[in-house]
Structure 1
Amino acid sequence: MQTTEVSDGIVFAYTDSGRLPKDDYLTVIALHGHTFHSGTFQRMTDAARGLGYRLIVPNRRLYPGSTSYTPEEIAALQPDSPHDIFAHTLEKQGLYLLEFIDSVIQVHGLARVAVAGWSLGALFLTLVVGAIAQVPEEVRSRLKEHVRALILWDPASVMHGFAMPSTGDWQTPLFDERLTPAARVSSFTEWVTAYFPHPALESRRFESIILDSVPNPPRMRTLKDAAPEELAGMVDLSAADRGDSGVGDETFWPTTYALTERKLFNKEVRDLWGDGVSFSMVYGDASVVAVIWAVWQMEAMAEKSGIPLKVKKIPGANHFPMIDDIPELFEAINSCVED
């Protein structure tokens, strides 16, 4: 892994598939989600050059090689934290990540960049979008010149404050307190990597979304036969209690909803990015309920605000196309830039 330092001495470790022989290739910078860090993108990294792309994946803070949160930041992201301190701490992470993006653009001479935030990373992408107002004009001009797309990729409802309709006794396994911590992790992993053949999603009715795994899914769940050492290189379970799980706690839903509305669907923020960047959303239509519901809410927010959000569906993909559907994923990301 390589590293780069931003303000306040914060260091980000990142993987990089490397420069291509041509000059006008698209570099995708992917912000990872909860538990599954940059190692989750290794197969996508290996495939990137052959498909004509460059892929850079930083480990967010809390994850291997990058600067951890301070004790104060960890405390600020716990459910008992005051909402203003929670919001300020999150917004600071968006600024650090935007500085990371600017840094690798300069270090590697990147001409065309798409930034995609996957799962929980979609909230950090939202924070990156808003951070454009906090950087000097020189940095803002450079970002406007090189960033061609900002992409929400499989956003998760709980991370943006989108409350789902009543689901009875069912809960997202990661936040199901009826399970032991160990059972929570294993149940979440099996659930989030599964395929869900949701019927009639075009109806936009919650009843059309499958909540839990089905007996005979259309495809075997991602990583079912992965070697233990490959799985170990993808996850860091310790990050959950040190900040990541707190971000999705129901206590903070009003705040994360407000941050999403204020940063993604704000005309002044969009104007700062200029006309050359596409604001987009990519998702797999066989992904988990939290993703499908979030996609619908994002579409509704875009319609209500009158601020455009381009939406690209990957048919048959689940929450892990960076493993199972790599060419289709790159194509969807590229279409956000080219269309």
Structure 2
Amino acid sequence: MPLAPIDDQGTHYYYEDTGAPPGSADYTTLVLIHGALIHGASFRTLFPFAPQHNCRLVTLNMRDYPGSTPYTNAELAAMRGPDRDGQRTQLHKRGLEISAFIMWFIRKENIPPFKLVGEKASGGISILGWSWGNTMTLSFVARARELPKEDQEFLETYMRTLVIYELSPHSSLSSTSCFDETHNPMRDQTLTGEQQAAAFLLWVSGYYAHSPLLLDSLASLNREEAEVLLATERVTNPPPQQVPTVQRLTAEEKAATAANHVWARSQIFFQPEIIDMELYRENTRVALQDASIWPRFRVCLVWADMTIGEVLLTSWDIVRHAKMAWPERGRQIEVVRLEGGNHFFSGTSKGDVLSTSVVVNGPTTKNTISFRLRDAASSGCLLPPSSAPTVVLPTTSMGNMTQASCIFAVVKNLYVSPSQQGSLHNKLVMPFATVDEAGSQCYYVDTGAPPNSSSYTTLVLVHGAGFQGSVFERLFPYAAKYDMRLVAVNMRDYSGSTPYSPSEFEDLRSEDVERQAKALRARGLELIAFLRWYISKEDIPPLSQGSSIDGGGISMLGWSWGCKLALSCIARAHELELDDREFLARYMRSLILLDPSPRVFGAPLTTLEDFDFYNPFTDPDLPPEAKIDFFPQWVSEYYSHSPTILYALADQSHGEMYAGFARGSIANPPFHQTPTLLRMSPEERDRVVNKDVLARSHIFWEILDSKVYTTNTRKALYDASVWPKLRVSLLWCDMSLALIVMATWGLLKDYQDWPANGRSIHTVRMKGANHFPQWDQPERTMQLLANVIWTQASDDTPAVVDMQNAEDAITASRL
């Protein structure tokens, strides 16, 4: 129960803190302020994503909310009393309490200050208010001028961004209220306070289909026009993702986030029936229209276009004022539209998926995302004059992203120089794909289509055990050079993707071979669902038609353990409905098995145990947590096996393989052959390695019955009658640990007695590579992958590629 003192009377805030991202000394801290009746626990769905964005999240519970000090009787009397000065004092105190917290937290936690060195911004504190919480954050900014000068200057070295997220009507600037007096349950005097609170949560968390004319021309309409175009009723018969958020929360999630009891005790006193609304307008004006205090402090207004009407109207009110009558000394405001989002950005534990765009300059910007808008001289201008550069990114390069991801993008990317614009979309395209009927999702990162290409090839990347899709990130800068689009998927139970359900865990842990096979089959179907959805969503170019295949199409790469899942995907082709099978046939180009892990092709555990090489998982001297800690280093070491067995791997006997394998990694290696993991920065290791999943679920994949994997391989590779054009390539790394090289040897032995209708397999030895060529030799690996994908005849790709020698040419046939 972390508590922070916020005055000298013993008053405190309850807060939750994700802590500093591992290994980072320049992270940004984001303080989150909740809305009415829902406290800081509602932000917990953001917590898992903070480290990958180099962010630290701190949620506060406002006074009277769980864990924080209740208001005193004197404070409540002042809030509900008729004295306007007493009400003003209370509103001001809330802002000063937040100031006290931030100064205390900075000193206690030694928070990194904001720095802007050349084009790189780092550190600092951003603060986000959601819904009614914006009245608190605006009070904090407005009260900055009342702080002692030393406190003003202290905070100025930290304050980075104010995110106004889904602004409630309390904080509008117009004298005419933006509250919906007809549909807001809080205005219904026939309901009890408890009934009002319950009805309010249903109403405020619904989805509303407002007129596109309003959404696309928000700042250009007058109030009468805007009000006519607002939807007042929720979407009827909504699809699952547009069911009101509160109805999709579990009972446990509701209990953990709701605070309905606060309404009757104190929250009602912040409503227009009690407090003088001019005090809120004064608060907003002082906070936003005078940048003389903390002049570099940035402001971003984020609005969701399927939110309730009164909140959308409040956003309209702010942007309309900014366009028509903004003082020269006012703060510059960035405006971000969330297309398809409702009022609840944190949503359920699975996250609400939506596309993100900024539509504030009218219809001409409908297909762009702008974090900074054109200046006041431009047509359709929304914001006050500014010399800041404009960042405009096409929505198509953004794809879909969660509202959570958008928040991190807003917090981290408001300081962008022109030279950074080209790389910005790669940082932002981090969306989610629904992969089954239960709503399970997979997080993925997409490099986007290469510029000016309509015939690029898309390569879907499936990671290995304990390593996430980020393990492929070093390939990303080279994708466009080879006319490739890369999509790295985090499989189920990995960061950002849906954990396994209890029944799925039971399948995986079962001793029943059929249930084990069901678990593997499900992962293949998830990849099929991802491909089907992604192709349609992104309008991926199909395989070129004609006598030879040139551009377009989809290739899939499985790396290490990921080969099992990639094979399961191909094995499912025979089970698909004819329409789906034929649809995918127009795209499926190749399957690449990159350095398969030991049991991919069904090697029994007993066979692997015949090799008495070191394995941390069988080391009796290592406790369980140490085994998991050492695994990533062990698998990323370099091993110098006998050249004799490597030269003709398929011809070796079991005994010859045993004799020729290195017993341990290279002793006293040169720097470039030290374990890959040890050459990663702490931030890179944090993005790439997921030790939790090794302990939680992956161990069960390693003990499945060998029949499950053998059957999986045969279904995928023994029958080429479905997707006959699909080309299979096996790329193996000759300095991987022995057990991994053994997996390739096993498949090559099987291939000597291959069925006549089986898929052809083209094999390439990656000479001098350990298990991580995509990290240690990224450009060389990208060039080889392009060559393997584009060539159709086996002899077009060298059987051996020297990964350490850049002069050893690899012909990329389309270049």
Shift of 1:280: 1.6
Cα offset, 1:176, TM superposition: 4.2
Contact 1:314 1:332 in 2 (8 A): no
- Pair 1:284-2:733 in alignment: yes
The Cα RMSD (Å) is 2.0
What corresponds to 1:59 in structure 2?
490
Q: What is the DSSP-based 3-state SS (H/G/I as helix, E as strand, rest coil) of the residue aligned with 1:290?
A: helix
Q: Say how many residue pairs are matched.
A: 332
Q: Which residue of 2 aligns with 1:316?
A: 768
1:98 to 511, 520, 528: 528
Equivalent residue letter for 1:180: P
Partner residue in 1 for 2:675: 221
In structure 2, which of residues 674, 695, 704 is the aligned counterpart of residue 241 of structure 1? 695
**Letter in structure 2 aligned against 1:202:** Y
Aligned to 1:142: 583
Map residues 189-228 of structure 1 onto 2, 5 A cutoff. Answer: 189-199=632-642, 200=644, 201-203=646-648, 204=652, 205-206=656-657, 207-217=659-669, 219-228=673-682
Change (3 A) 1:87 1:11: same
What's 1:34 paired with? 465
Greater helix proportion: 1
Query: Structure 2 counterpart of 1:101, which letter?
Result: L
Q: CA deviation at 1:323?
A: 0.8
The answer on 1:129 being equivalent to 2:570 is yes
- One-letter amino acid of the structure 1 residue matched with residue 529 of structure 2: E
Q: Structure 1: how far apart are the matches of 2:620 and 2:565?
A: 25
Q: Does the 8 Å CA contact 1:5/1:12 hold for their aligned counterparts?
A: yes
TM-score by length of 1: 0.91
* Distance in 1 separating the partners of 2:524 and 2:624: 29
Question: Structure 1: how far apart are the matches of 2:661 and 2:784?
Answer: 23
Query: Offset of 1:278 from its aligned partner?
Result: 0.1
Cα distance, 1:324 vs structure 2 = 0.9
Q: For residue 706 of structure 2, what is the aligned residue in structure 1?
A: 253
Q: Percent identity?
A: 25
Instruction: Report if aligned partners of 1:197, 1:217 keep a CA contact under 8 Å in 2.
Output: no
**CA positional deviation for 1:266:** 2.1
Asked if the contact 1:280/1:310 (under 8 Å) is kept, the reply is: yes
Which digits, 9 at most, give the CA deviation of each residue in 1:295-330, with x for residues without a partner?
111112222123321112222111111111112222
Q: In structure 2, what is the Cα distance between the partners aligned to 1:236 and 1:188?
A: 11
Q: Is the 8 A contact 2:614 2:664 kept in 1?
A: no
What CA distance in whole angstroms lies between the structure 2 residues aligned with 1:331 and 1:294?
24
Q: Match for 1:146: what amino acid?
A: Y
**Residue in 1 that maps onto 2:478:** 47
Report SS of the residue matched to 1:271: coil
Alignment partners' CA distance in 2, 1:43 and 1:319: 15
Q: Once the two structures are superposed, what CA deviation does each residue of 1:107-133 show, in whole Å capped at 9, x if it has no partner?
A: 122222210110100000110111112
Deviations 1:3-29 (A, max 9, x none): 111322221110011111212222111
The residue identity in structure 2 corresponding to 1:298 is: L
Q: CA deviation at 1:34?
A: 0.5
Match of 1:164 among 605, 608, 615: 608
Q: Are residues 171 and 98 of structure 1, via their aligned partners in 2, closer, same or farther at CA, if it must alter by over 3 Å?
A: farther
Q: Is residue 272 of structure 1 aligned with residue 722 of structure 2?
A: yes
Q: TM-score, normalised by structure 2?
A: 0.39
Unmatched 5+ residue regions in structure 2?
1-429, 542-552, 793-815
Counterpart of 2:76 in structure 1 is: none
Q: Distance in 2 between matches of 1:2 and 1:213?
A: 38
The ranges of structure 1 where at least 4 consecutive aligned residues each deviate by more than 3 angstroms after the TM superposition are 174-178
Which of 88, 97, 101 pairs up with 2:518? Answer: 88
Matched, 1:305 2:754: yes
Distance (whole Å) between structure 2 residues aligned to residue 138 and residue 155 of structure 1: 31
Aligned residue number for residue 19 of structure 1: 449
Give the AA of the match of 2:454: D
Q: Quick check: 1:75–1:81 contact (8 Å CA) kept in 2?
A: no
Question: Is 2:788 aligned against 1:329?
Answer: no
The structure having more radius of gyration, on CA atoms, is: 2
Q: Partner amino acid for 1:304?
A: D
Partners of 2:669 and 2:436 in 1: how far apart? 46
In 1, the alpha carbon distance for the partners of 2:629 and 2:691 equals 11
Confirm or deny: 8 A CA contact 1:159 1:253 kept in the other structure: no
CA contact (8 A) 1:173 1:188 kept: yes
SS in 1 for 2:678: coil
- Find the counterpart in structure 2 of residue 180 from structure 1: 623
